[in-house]
Amino acid sequence: MSYIVHSIVNVPPEKIEETIAIYQNRSKLVDNYEGFLSFQLLQNEKRPSELTVQLIWETKEAYMKWATSEAFQKVHDLEKNYPDQELAAIVPKVQKYRVVAT
């Protein structure tokens, strides 16, 4: 069964479109990582400033290899060095899920 990771961020309302554009133009380093299945950026319908990055992995082990890789570090260093310091300072709430039924 697969493994899903959500990183939830709340951005200022005036930064929503800018944040979405960042993810639309993301580095895609994760896309070819072993065990990676998909990426989606989700926008909460009732709270549009709440965005969720959803990554789906074949297994928890595949995700953990990614999370401890140099590529992961590179992606997160890019985020920390983003020119808009207000966006760079946002700390996501991370939630992890095991798929137990389909």
> Structural domain boundaries of the chain?
3-98
Helix/strand/coil (H/E/C) assignment for every residue in the chain = CCEEEEEEEECCHHHHHHHHHHHHCCCCHHHHCCCEEEEEEEECCCCCCEEEEEEEECCHHHHHHHHCCHHHHHHHHHHHCCCCHHHHCCCCEEEEEECCCC
Q: Residue 17 has what pLDDT?
A: 95
Question: Per-residue pLDDT tens for 59-82?
Answer: 999 999 999 999 899 887 776 667
> What share of the chain has pLDDT > 90, as a percent?
75
pLDDT category of residue 2 using cuts at 50, 70 and 90 = very high
- 21: pLDDT strictly greater than 80: yes
Higher-confidence residue of 41 and 27: namely 41
Confidence check: pLDDT of 90 > 90:
no
pLDDT of residue 81: 65
Q: For position 77, what pLDDT does the model report?
A: 75
List the single range of 11-15, 24-28, 48-52, 97-101 with lowest mean pLDDT: 24-28
CATH architecture classification, 3-98? 2-Layer Sandwich (3.30)
